[in-house]
Structure 1
Amino acid sequence: MSYSPALLAEFAPTGVLRASINLGNPILANAGADGQPFGVSIDLARGFAKHLGLPLDLVVFDAAGKSVDAVTNEQADFGFFAVDPVRGAGIHFTAPYVLIEGSYMVPEASAIHSNNQVDNAGVRVVVGKGSAYDLYLTRELKNASIVRAPTSPTVVDTFLAQGCEVAAGVKQQLEADALRVPGMRLLPGRFMVIQQAMGLPKSRSPEAVAVLRAYVEDMKQSGFVADALKRHNIQGASVAPAA
């Protein structure tokens, strides 16, 4: 499919399509031994650039909040985000392409054994600053307090350094940390499901938003997203249903 020069200029005002990539979510993006990013987000970014016929630049960040700010402030042209109403003030979201579980981790000796025991006075929950978990738990927790780590991958290190009661984040990241740090356990189940979507700056036109939304639906329906999850050996995430 070909698009008008005006629409392509809207997608890439600098002439290069800039994709905001968050390395703080290991389900979607990671850095290889050579420092180059890889993962489901990168595959989708390259696919979208090819779809538009534009060159691509990956703008890489270590935290979700920084990635969101880059698109909101138009330092990047699109990105990959957990859907959240706070972020929706500056970003047009597509329907989700992947669903991701959020979990809690506690010390083995903790008296907390279920998710509904977390929201109590005296419980400190560590989250990555600006992450979807931060935004969600800021709204939902009424009695527990929130401690914000600089990034999602540093949640468990902050949790240990400050002697907090609960760490919250991507289930797969916490599982990896539990293998790294002895004496930890994940609480059963999940406290939320993240709807991971693509997004454009709020200033972009309805036509541009429609193109990105259609691209995401095509990538789900064609099996591209499922194949990317399999290719990158991602467990615990599933392809979102059709919009």
Structure 2
Amino acid sequence: MTTLPQQFAPMGTLRASINLGNPILAQKDAASGQPVGVSVDLATDLARRLGVGLTLLVFDSAGKSVDAVTNGQADIGFFAIDPVRGQGIAFTAPYVLIEGSYVVAKDSAIQKNEDVDRAGIRIAVGKGSAYDLFLTREIKQAQLQRAPTSPTTVDFFLNEKLDVAAGLKQQLEFDAARLPNLRLLPGRFMVIEQAMGLPKDRDPQAQRYLRQFVEEMKSSGFVAASLKKHKIEGASIAPGFIR
């Protein structure tokens, strides 16, 4: 019978998939160049509790981070909950909620979210991101065009002369501040539930432990303190929930 540390870290070290494509979760520290953020803090604390070492596998997009966990290259990861990803990943309940928004050119005729899904409208979105998966299901008339990663979506949108860019609200706000002639559409088109996950074929005991770990990290104030430490705004703590 395998122990809990063995179930989580069969290679002896907990391999955590870290996505730098979502700055709410992780980003590179300006001084050290090392990944920092709430996902890194959660991975570090989980490894400490399990009594195992920690290896961070760093990726520039959600799609690559998801693939690492799905194919067993990583033991845990941090993702937006999505049914497509759920085919290979066992998710916890969410620990933070963030918003997906649209940005357009200032002189665009598009004024609200409801104007986007129309024939002839071309939407830029990061390949394999939560926004890509959601819009692939929901968009009926507009056309999706995929940027290599979420952080490059706005540049891709401008270079390809598209009509709309979709992504993380905070990233789009940053892009609108650094680039002229852009504006965010009011509101949001989706709420993104960010959760932890591990390969779906891992022992049910490990899946239960990870769900309980996330609930404790929320209720204890760990997640809120981590977001504050890393000066993250625009993310709210998800309500407590055991499933």
Tell me which interval the TM-score lies in, with the shorter structure as reference length. Answer: over 0.9
- Give the equivalent residue in structure 2 for 1:32: 29
Q: Does 1:157 find its partner at 2:155?
A: yes
Equivalent pair of 2:94/2:196 in contact (CA under 8 Å): yes
Identity of aligned residues (%): 67
Aligned length: 240
Aligned residue in 2 for 1:227: 225
Offset of residue 184 of structure 1: 0.3
What residue in structure 1 maps to residue 48 of structure 2?
50
Instruction: Measure, in 1, the Cα distance between the counterparts of 2:62 and 2:22.
Output: 8
Corresponding letter in the other structure for 2:72: E
In structure 2, what is the Cα distance between the partners aligned to 1:5 and 1:18? 18
Which of 3, 25, 31 aligns to 1:6? It is 3
How far residue 125 of structure 1 moved from its aligned partner, in angstroms, is 0.7
Aligned twin of 2:60: 62
Residue 238 (structure 1) aligns with: 236
Residue 5 (structure 1) shift: 5.5
1:22 — aligned with what?
Answer: 19
List gaps (5 residues or longer) in structure 2. Answer: none
Using the alignment, how far apart are the partners of 2:55 and 2:237 within structure 1? Answer: 26
SS in 2 for 1:226: helix
CA–CA distance in structure 2, aligned partners of residues 14 and 192 of structure 1: 37
Amino acid at match of 1:64: A
When the two chains are superposed, the root-mean-square deviation of aligned CA atoms in Å is 0.9
**Which residue matches 2:104?**
106
Give yes or no for the alignment of 1:209 onto 2:207.
yes
Q: Which residue of 2 aligns with 1:168?
A: 166
- State how far apart, in whole Å, the 1-side matches of 2:92 and 2:49 are: 16
Q: TM-score, normalised by structure 2?
A: 0.97
Secondary structure in 2 aligned to 1:148? strand
Superposed structure 1 runs of 4+ greater than 3 Å apart = none
Cα displacement string for residues 175-195 of structure 1 (whole angstroms, at most 9, x for unaligned residues): 000011100000000000000
Structure 1 residue aligned with 2:176: 178
Give 3-state SS (helix, strand or coil) of 2:104's partner. strand
TM-score normalized with structure 1 length: 0.97
Q: 2-side partners of 1:121 and 1:45: how far apart?
A: 43
